[in-house]
Amino acid sequence: MKKILTALAISFSALTASSISIAGPHFDQRDGYDQPRDFNRGQAKKNREFREYNDGERMEMRRMREERGVKRLQQHKWQAGYVLPQHYRGNGYKVDYRDQNLPRPDRNQQWYKINNDYILVNSETNSIMRILGL
């Protein structure tokens, strides 16, 4: 019994000694150099400050691009069978047929008012069924 307890004690101490020797301090090494953990945060902050420097120019370019897109959508020619662009599928373009004196839509159809045109769209396929101009 004494030999078994001694063998268990020696094996347990060997196991703990090996696990302690394996566990060591963790170093965050990049390119072979030890760098503080806040190094990346500092770089991100510099990049963010650089991006904010040209913010006015970016906003102006974005505004111009959006205006071109709106003009292009306003000049769009609608035809039956075309798919209604996703930009127009929101509730802001939907109209009630009773308020506008339009024919009653069938099931799964919806009237939209886009650029002074009333467009009847199939709600399942988003395809244009009929167009009524003012």
- DSSP H or E stretch at residue 112: strand 109-114
Chain position carrying tokens 């930009």: 87
Contact 116, 76 (CB under 8 A): no
Amino acid identity at 15: L
Confidence band (pLDDT; 50, 70, 90) for 45? low
Q: What does each C-alpha distance from 100 to 19, 51, 76, 111 come to in angstroms?
A: 80, 48, 22, 10
Round to whole Å and give the CA distance between 42 and 64. Answer: 33
Domain 78-134 has CATH 3.40.50.1820: no
Six-digit token string for 10: 């020696």
Q: What is the pLDDT of residues 50-107, one digit of tens each?
A: 555 577 788 888 888 888 877 777 777 778 888 888 888 889 999 999 999 999 999 9
Q: Where are the domains of the chain?
A: 30-75, 78-134
**Pick from 130, 134, 132, 133: nearest CA to 80:** 130
